[in-house]
Amino acid sequence: MPYIGKTNRDGLENAIDEIVGILNERGIDGNYPVGHLNYLITSIIVKTLDRQGKSYKNFNAVVGALECCKLELYRRAVAPYEDTKIEQNGDVY
């Protein structure tokens, strides 16, 4: 999943920090502008596909990466958050 080696992360972290800073500057009331985040992700994908070529293999790889990112976010962040809220507010089930 997103667990690449430290040497491979080094070249990306500065760029990521810069992009996150730009998104934060454009936020309203401290919130990310979701449209900007969507634009950023879409632009990275479009430029990647332009460089690597449009093929079923590459489209499938991008869709798979997006799906795995979604699932990893849910597994690592959303589910624990929901568990905390269940403890605080009581379960629905």
Sequence spans of domains, the chain:
1-53, 55-93
Instruction: Count CA within 13 A, CB hemisphere, residue 93.
Output: 2
Please state which of the ranges 28-32, 51-55, 72-76, 80-84 shows the lowest mean pLDDT.
28-32
Q: ∠ CA 17-20-21 to the nearest 5 degrees?
A: 85
The pLDDT of residue 84? 98
For residue range 42-57, list pLDDT tens digits in order: 999 999 999 999 999 9
pTM, whole model, 2 decimals?
A: 0.81
Residue pair 62/48 in contact by the 8 Å Cβ criterion: yes
Q: How confident is the model at residue 89 (pLDDT cuts 50, 70, 90)?
A: very high
